């Protein structure tokens, strides 16, 4: 057994010592967070065949990893919120008694790091020292996790120093669940291959995270969804702030007025793209603060102040191109880890819809050869000479649909450095938010943009959000619309009804509720009968952001409808409507209309989701009150009001 290293902080020592005894690694390494250490781990992985070093002239400091086929995305079916009481996890989460779960998982952890190195990663969620920042210690046996955490969070000595002798942190344990026997050769992507052997477990009362069996993304980089959303949402509820699945951006108008906007869209529904978007509208400037997670705290002035707790982008690769998101591509130029994309013969990377011609031959995400398509130079197939139609029919993609890049935020050419460092007027607080957007992938019914009539109406809009399931999760329901309130369905750390109530409380407890952000619902994904997108999206979304700013300033009137305030068609600025994808005026007209029949069905579906949430509380014998753990009355009231207005 390895000797537990010394730590100035007793709680850190106790956490590491406990898991050293359970997991029995060969060796323990405390991550220092230096560049040299990062490079040395990457190079060690290259030697072991777990990383491919990319062409260092084209992509300095960049590597490629290929995961096991069972380990390509988050596993919602194996994700648990283990509160003491089942009702506190609520109707949207998988639950198990925390003591039962711990016993069960301890069996898996026993000896799980044999033949491996245990890494101890001290990390910060947020700029070190910022009052909103929180800290974590992740123990892991995955060097892939270490180097990804180095990019996604602030890691190393500085964190331990900040924690001092008795600073608090969220204790996290992670193992890929693949111990090595003496002399056994490691594989390229160790993990527990059976889905049922994987566990992603949050203990909200102990504030601990236990993850086992997966090495991929949000399952394994525990600072991200497990901490910054699931555990943090519970902390936020208890302490009066918010942890949300939101991007944060800074928008500057031609008149040089700055706005800060957050947006909650479900996984793979456009956060990274909006966060780094190049506005098509002349004179408007957009800068990035965060692309996935926002922590919002109410200020003394009644405004909500946001920070991005992360330090990098774990972005969806396919679809990222110089046309759609040049700033994301530029962020991947150096120091980036690519997972499950195509390797080209010159040691570069490629993916579908990168806007770059495919190489004649490459290696696909499974490590098999792939070949340029016979009649489309922008596609690849599993055999030479295949046509576009044949490839499409086979369902083959050369880069996995949830292949990702892990890129340092500092690479982003449009990073708002001051906002990213959590500064507002040079004080470490976060930036004040002017507008909150909700959204999702909705081929029908939901208009391009819809303004809430009040905070409560905005909370209703968020609670009613739905979206097509994407490849960001391992699921047999990809493409089907599911309810995804506030884009948080997979990330609630507690009961969804309490979460809705918490949103409503933000208005009641605000020092000045008139200063709260205005709330909007957007949909970039409306489709025509022929399956084409009716809105060009990406840079054209700046047209919608401009309308939102004008509404904030009271500069334009709106079409007041039963579902909310929609733009008048003339108020969507169509200047510079040029290029490959354009706004088609007839389509714009259609996506600014209220589809009354569609909305009646929509409202019924939302009502059904509320009923489903309430049913759990009704069945739970520990819930004595008739209103506790139920969807708040104020939201039911809006549902009834909208429904009545639509019936007129």
Q: Which residues are catalytic?
A: 269
Q: Which residue has the tokens 């910054």?
A: 228
| 602 near Mn ion, rule: CB under 5 A | no
Measured in degrees and rounded to the nearest 5, phi and psi for residue 52 equal -110, 125
Q: Is-contact 534 526, C-beta < 8 A?
A: yes
Residue 207 or residue 225: which is nearer to ligand SPV going by CB? 225
Identified binder of ligand GTP from the candidate list 324, 339, 467, 523, rule CB under 6 A: 324
In DSSP notation, 40-51 reads: HHHHHHHHTTS-
Q: How many residues bind Mn ion (CB under 5 A)?
A: 2
Maximum C-alpha span of the chain: 75
Identified binder of ligand SPV from the candidate list 38, 174, 225, 297, rule CB under 6 A: 225
Nearest distance from residue 308's CB to Mn ion, in Å?
Answer: 12
User: On the CB side of 609, how many CA atoms lie within 13 Å of its CA?
Assistant: 22
Please identify, among the stretches 217-225, 539-547, 574-582, 616-624, the one whose residues bind ligand SPV according to the rule CB under 6 A: 217-225
Pairing mode, strands 170-175 and 208-212: parallel
Pairing mode, strands 380-381 and 404-408: unpaired
| 198 near ligand SPV, rule: CB under 6 A | no
Residue least distant from ligand GTP (Cβ): 537
Residues 159, 177: Cα–Cα separation, whole Å? 27
| 316 near ligand GTP, rule: CB under 6 A | yes
Q: Which of 444, 445, 404, 449 is nearest to 572 (CA)?
A: 449
Residues 183, 284: Cα–Cα separation, whole Å? 60
Identified binder of ligand GTP from the candidate list 222, 349, 452, 472, rule CB under 6 A: 472
Q: Is-contact 135 222, C-beta < 8 A?
A: no
CB atoms within 10 A of CB 312: 27
Q: Is 180 exposed, middle or buried (0-12, 13-18, 19+ CB in 10 A)?
A: middle
Residue 338 or residue 538: which is nearer to ligand GTP going by CB? 538
Residue 248 or residue 631: which is nearer to ligand SPV going by CB? 248
Mark residues 458-497: x for contact with ligand SPV by CB under 6 A, - for none.
--------------x-------------------------
Residues 123, 32: Cα–Cα separation, whole Å? 10
- Residues 6+ away with beta carbon under 8 Å from 232: 125, 134, 243, 295, 309, 493
Stretch 173-192 residues interacting with ligand SPV (CB under 6 A): none
Identified binder of ligand SPV from the candidate list 134, 175, 250, 267, rule CB under 6 A: 267
3-state helix, strand, coil in the chain (%, to 5): 30, 20, 45
- From the list ligand GTP, ligand SPV, Mn ion, none, which binds 225 (C-beta under 5 to 8 Å, kind-based)? ligand SPV
Please identify, among the stretches 154-162, 287-295, 367-375, 538-546, the one whose residues bind Mn ion according to the rule CB under 5 A: 287-295
Identified binder of ligand SPV from the candidate list 218, 223, 458, 517, rule CB under 6 A: 218
Residues 434, 427: Cα–Cα separation, whole Å? 18
| 314 near ligand SPV, rule: CB under 6 A | yes
Identified binder of ligand SPV from the candidate list 38, 66, 68, 74, rule CB under 6 A: 74
Residue 43 to residues 49, 55, 61, 147, 532, Cα–Cα distance (Å): 10, 14, 10, 11, 45
Residue 74 or residue 457: which is nearer to ligand SPV going by CB? 74
List residues bridging with 264 in a β-sheet.
Answer: 438
User: Alpha-carbon torsion 360, 363, 369, 372, what sign?
Assistant: negative
Nearest distance from residue 224's CB to ligand SPV, in Å?
Answer: 5
Identified binder of ligand GTP from the candidate list 190, 290, 319, 359, rule CB under 6 A: 319
Residue 382 or residue 537: which is nearer to ligand GTP going by CB? 537
| 127 near ligand SPV, rule: CB under 6 A | no
Nearest distance from residue 218's CB to ligand SPV, in Å?
Answer: 3
In DSSP notation, 108-169 reads: HHTTTTTTSEEEEEEEEESSTT-TT-EEEEEEES-HHHHHHHHHHSEESHHHHHHHTTT---
List residues bridging with 483 in a β-sheet.
Answer: 466
Identified binder of Mn ion from the candidate list 292, 451, 573, 587, rule CB under 5 A: 292
Identified binder of ligand GTP from the candidate list 24, 70, 133, 267, rule CB under 6 A: 267
Stretch 236-265 residues interacting with ligand GTP (CB under 6 A): 265
| 533 near ligand GTP, rule: CB under 6 A | yes
Residues 13, 523: Cα–Cα separation, whole Å? 48
Please identify, among the stretches 22-30, 294-302, 318-326, 564-572, the one whose residues bind ligand GTP according to the rule CB under 6 A: 318-326
Residue 208 or residue 406: which is nearer to ligand GTP going by CB? 406
Identified binder of ligand GTP from the candidate list 292, 310, 571, 587, rule CB under 6 A: 292
Please identify, among the stretches 218-226, 247-255, 390-398, 435-443, the one whose residues bind ligand SPV according to the rule CB under 6 A: 218-226
Residues 550, 59: Cα–Cα separation, whole Å? 41
| 217 near ligand SPV, rule: CB under 6 A | yes
Q: Is 184 exposed, middle or buried (0-12, 13-18, 19+ CB in 10 A)?
A: exposed
List residues bridging with 307 in a β-sheet.
Answer: 295
- From the list ligand SPV, ligand GTP, Mn ion, none, which binds 309 (C-beta under 5 to 8 Å, kind-based)? none
Q: Is-contact 571 548, C-beta < 8 A?
A: no
Please identify, among the stretches 65-73, 76-84, 133-141, 312-320, the one whose residues bind ligand GTP according to the rule CB under 6 A: 312-320
| 95 near ligand GTP, rule: CB under 6 A | no
| 224 near ligand SPV, rule: CB under 6 A | yes
Nearest distance from residue 601's CB to ligand SPV, in Å?
Answer: 27
Nearest distance from residue 324's CB to ligand GTP, in Å?
Answer: 5
Nearest distance from residue 395's CB to ligand SPV, in Å?
Answer: 22
Stretch 268-287 residues interacting with ligand GTP (CB under 6 A): 268-273
Residues 502, 2: Cα–Cα separation, whole Å? 45
Q: Is-contact 214 180, C-beta < 8 A?
A: no
What tokens were used for 527? 């489709």
Nearest distance from residue 525's CB to ligand SPV, in Å?
Answer: 16
List residues bridging with 117 in a β-sheet.
Answer: 27
Nearest distance from residue 537's CB to ligand GTP, in Å?
Answer: 2
Residue ranges in contact with Mn ion by CB under 5 A? 267, 292
Residues of this chain that bind ligand SPV (CB under 6 A): 74, 217-218, 224-225, 267, 292, 314, 472
**Which residues are at the interface with ligand GTP (CB under 6 A)?**
265, 267-273, 291-292, 315-316, 318-319, 324, 472, 524-525, 533, 537-538, 541
């Amino acid at each position: 057994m390895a000797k537990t290293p010394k730590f100035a902080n007793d709680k850190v020592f106790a956490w590491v010592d406990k898991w050293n005894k359970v997991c029995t690694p060969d060796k323990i390494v405390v991550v220092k967070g230096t560049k040299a250490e990062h490079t040395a781990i990457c190079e060690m992985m290259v030697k072991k065949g777990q990383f491919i070093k990319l062409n260092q002239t084209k992509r300095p400091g960049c590597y490629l990893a290929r995961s096991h086929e069972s380990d390509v995305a988050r596993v919602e079916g194996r994700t648990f919120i283990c509160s003491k009481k089942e009702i506190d996890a609520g109707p949207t989460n998988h639950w198990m008694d925390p003591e039962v779960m711990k016993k069960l998982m301890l069996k898996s952890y026993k000896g799980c790091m044999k033949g491996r190195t245990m890494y101890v990663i001290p990390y910060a969620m947020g700029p070190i020292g910022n009052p909103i920042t929180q800290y974590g210690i992740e123990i892991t046996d995955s060097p892939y996790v270490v180097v990804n955490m180095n990019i996604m969070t602030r890691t190393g000595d500085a964190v331990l120093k900040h924690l001092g002798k008795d600073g608090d942190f969220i204790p996290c344990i992670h193992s890929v669940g693949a111990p090595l026997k003496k002399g056994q050769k490691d594989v390229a992507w160790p993990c527990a291959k059976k889905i049922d052997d994987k566990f992603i477990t949050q203990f909200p009362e102990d504030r601990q995270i236990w993850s086992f069996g997966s090495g991929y993304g949000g399952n394994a980089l525990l600072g991200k969804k497990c901490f910054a959303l699931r555990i943090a949402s519970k902390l936020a509820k208890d302490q009066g702030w918010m942890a949300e699945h939101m991007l944060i951006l800074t928008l500057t108008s031609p008149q040089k007025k700055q706005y800060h906007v957050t947006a909650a869209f479900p996984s793979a529904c456009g956060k990274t793209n909006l966060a780094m978007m190049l506005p098509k509208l002349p004179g408007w400037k957009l800068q990035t603060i965060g692309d996935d997670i926002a922590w919002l705290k109410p200020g003394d002035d009644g405004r909500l102040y946001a920070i991005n707790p992360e330090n990098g982008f774990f972005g969806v690769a396919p679809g990222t191109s110089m046309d759609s998101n040049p700033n994301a591509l530029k962020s991947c130029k150096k120091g980036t880890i690519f997972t499950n994309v195509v390797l080209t013969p010159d040691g570069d990377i490629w993916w579908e819809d990168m806007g770059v011609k495919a190489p004649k031959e490459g290696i696909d995400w499974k490590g098999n050869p792939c070949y340029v398509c016979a009649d489309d130079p922008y596609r690849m197939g599993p055999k030479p000479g295949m046509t576009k139609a044949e490839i499409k029919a086979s369902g083959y993609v050369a880069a996995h649909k949830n292949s990702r890049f892990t890129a340092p935020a500092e690479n982003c050419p449009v990073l708002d450095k001051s906002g990213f460092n959590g500064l507002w007027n040079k004080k470490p607080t976060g930036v004040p938010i002017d507008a909150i957007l909700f959204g999702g992938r909705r081929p029908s019914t939901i208009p391009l943009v819809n303004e809430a009539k009040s905070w409560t109406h905005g909370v209703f809009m968020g609670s009613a959000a739905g979206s097509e399931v994407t490849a960001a999760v391992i699921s047999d329901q990809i493409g089907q619309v599911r309810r995804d309130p506030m884009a948080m369905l997979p990330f609630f750390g507690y009961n969804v009804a309490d979460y809705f109530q918490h949103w409503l409380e933000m208005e009641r407890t605000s020092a000045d509720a008139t200063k709260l952000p205005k709330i909007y619902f957007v949909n970039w994904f409306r489709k025509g009968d022929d399956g084409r997108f009716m809105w060009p999206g990406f840079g054209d979304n700046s047209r919608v952001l401009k309308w939102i700013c004008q509404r904030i300033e009271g500069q334009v009137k709106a079409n007041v409808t039963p579902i909310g305030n929609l733009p008048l068609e003339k108020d969507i600025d169509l200047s510079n409507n040029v290029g490959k994808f354009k706004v088609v005026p007839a389509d714009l007209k259609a996506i600014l209309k209220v589809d009354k029949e569609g909305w009646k069905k929509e409202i019924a579906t939302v009502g059904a989701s509320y009923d489903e949430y309430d049913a759990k509380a009704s069945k739970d014998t520990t819930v004595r009150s008739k209103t506790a753990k139920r969807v708040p009355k104020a939201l039911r009231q809006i549902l009834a009001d909208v429904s009545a207005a639509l019936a007129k």
